[in-house]
Structure 1
Amino acid sequence: MAKTVVAVGGHIGDMELTAGPTLAKVTLEGGRAVIVDCTYGERGHPTLAPSVYREQKLHEAQFFADKIGAELVTLDYSDGFLPDGEEVAEQVAAVIREARPDLLITHWTRSMHRDHERAAQAALRGAFLASIPMEEIAAERHSVPQILHAENWEDMDGFEADTFVAIPEEAYARWREGIQEHAFARGETYGFRFIDYYSALMEVKGCLVGEKRAAAFKSAGTEKFALAGP
């Protein structure tokens, strides 16, 4: 398993939910995990004002990171308004240059949520920017060896998993304890039982690879180069 992983999500909770079990596995094995949440996800509650839910989401994100032993980076963008320019990609590139990950995880490039798509584009573009010489940036460049797209029921257009990561019991338990703090994951916002869904999904994917549980990903292919180039 990779020693250092950076996971880039559109909203607080996205990578925690989908890549979280894998990140917990990495930290349990003595590695480093960095979660980059591009927006607060503060508009996702049917009764709480965005300003109130924003503070709750920040708490949920830090709680989860602490539970699995990950680091948290929250970018200052509002839910539904993640820009698609260079600014976000440059922020992701800065994280990549500092963390020097063996693995980058992000959304699939096609989704029902624009923030998911733009986070994926920023991650791929950021990986490209981190890999090229930049005289005005002191940090050394870094080329990410592997990029994976996490399986997400909201990002399934054209998604076909080709990479599976076995999730040990302790990693699953830490993920479950951390993700329970997220109101949306518990089904308290719009009723979808995210924790049950992804727990069951890991068991289904585990059946395919002879493990009790496994997380599924799609390797970055041609879209990596289509979106990351100058």
Structure 2
Amino acid sequence: MSRRLLFVHAHPDDETLTCGVTMAHHVAAGDEVHVLTCTLGEEGEVIPAELRHLEGHPGDDLARHRLGELTEAMSRVGAHLHVLGSDPGAGRLSRYRDSGMAGSEAAARPEAFVNADLDEAGGLVAEVIRAVRPDVLVTYDAEGGYRHPDHIQTHRVTRAALDQLDDAELPDRVFQILVAQSWAEEDRALLPELGAGAYGLVLPAPTDPFPPSVVPDTRVTHVVVDAAARAVKNAALRAHRTQVTVFSEDVHALSNHIAAHTSVREGFGRVDPRTWSAIGVGERHDSLFS
């Protein structure tokens, strides 16, 4: 029986970086995967030299380009794409704009996602949930994975959407994206063995702090492991070429040139859709549906 999953993310490429294996796994299983992006990443840093003219373009040409990248990436995954508040008939690609980092000029703009009214933005997310009727909904934890303002706002807006739904409209299962501490430590230790230094990348030091989404292993209640799905994830990452460089099956990097391991596993913590309190801490399930 086909099941439906909805992944709610802040910018193009976030969905693939954090949930690419999971999305590909479920598409291969015959499930219907949907991705909702809340902005088009207008403030992104561009990696390829021949595309750097898009960065900071006053006409937000980067948004159009990144929408094309996202569309291609989701085609490679086999997922259905939604952009929050888009209105193609009116020529509006998205309702909200990338806020950039905290304190940036972009964050002060009225159309920045970080300044969105929670009831209004939550209502738009609720419309997508009602249209898709997902069995599973996945988004960030309260700190947005790594404290990016738009990721935190995505968490808040998603919760606002769930608050606007009747009990019968709620997804059966809601998850936040988490990484087990032991995985993060293993991935970091693997990078030299995988030859990441040979690509001219910065290798994280063993003592470098992890982002808030790295949590004690017991908080990761559900895990998706699929080696075959990693090839699909890498294909989708290659579509996001303004933001990500794929160096090998195992190694990728963003514009900061810090090496990252492309793992075959992704973790999640199940939460109550009303209170966001954790469910099943200390348990470990090998499927989002178990």
User: TM-score under structure 2 normalisation?
Assistant: 0.63
Q: Which runs of 5+ in 2 are unaligned?
A: 47-51, 85-93, 100-111, 185-209, 246-252, 278-290
The one-character-per-residue Cα deviations of 1:132-191 (angstroms, maximum 9, x if unpaired) are 5xxxxxxxx512111111137985168444223333233221111111221322246332
Separation (CA, whole Å) in 1 of partners of 2:214 and 2:232: 31
Separation (CA, whole Å) in 2 of partners of 1:171 and 1:2: 18
RMSD: 2.6
Per the alignment, residue 153 of structure 2 pairs with: 118
Q: Residue 217 of structure 1 aligns to which amino acid in structure 2?
A: F
Residue 113 (structure 2) pairs with residue 94 (structure 1): no
Per the alignment, residue 214 of structure 1 pairs with: 265
What is the SS of the residue equivalent to 1:11? coil
**Deviation at residue 39 of structure 1 after TM alignment:** 0.7
Separation (CA, whole Å) in 1 of partners of 2:24 and 2:231: 9
Per the alignment, residue 230 of structure 2 pairs with: 172
> Closer, same or farther in 2 for the Cα pair 1:180/1:14, shift >3 Å?
same
Q: Residue 225 of structure 1 aligns to which amino acid in structure 2?
A: T
Q: 1:148 aligns with which of 150, 172, 175?
A: 175
Per the alignment, residue 137 of structure 2 pairs with: 104
Q: Which runs of 5+ in 1 are unaligned?
A: 133-140, 203-212
Per the alignment, residue 16 of structure 2 pairs with: 16
Q: Is the 8 A contact 2:21 2:224 kept in 1?
A: no
Separation (CA, whole Å) in 2 of partners of 1:15 and 1:224: 23
> Closer, same or farther in 2 for the Cα pair 1:19/1:131, shift >3 Å?
farther
Q: Is the 8 A contact 1:102 1:145 kept in 2?
A: yes
- Aligned residue pairs, count: 203
**Deviation at residue 226 of structure 1 after TM alignment:** 6.3
What is the SS of the residue equivalent to 1:41? coil
Separation (CA, whole Å) in 2 of partners of 1:34 and 1:218: 19
Q: 2:98 aligns with which of 49, 61, 79?
A: 79
Per the alignment, residue 205 of structure 1 pairs with: none
What is the SS of the residue equivalent to 2:239? coil
Deviates more, 1:121-130 or 1:90-99: 121-130
User: TM-score under structure 1 normalisation?
Assistant: 0.78
> Closer, same or farther in 2 for the Cα pair 1:167/1:125, shift >3 Å?
same
Identity %: 22
Pair member with larger Rg: 2
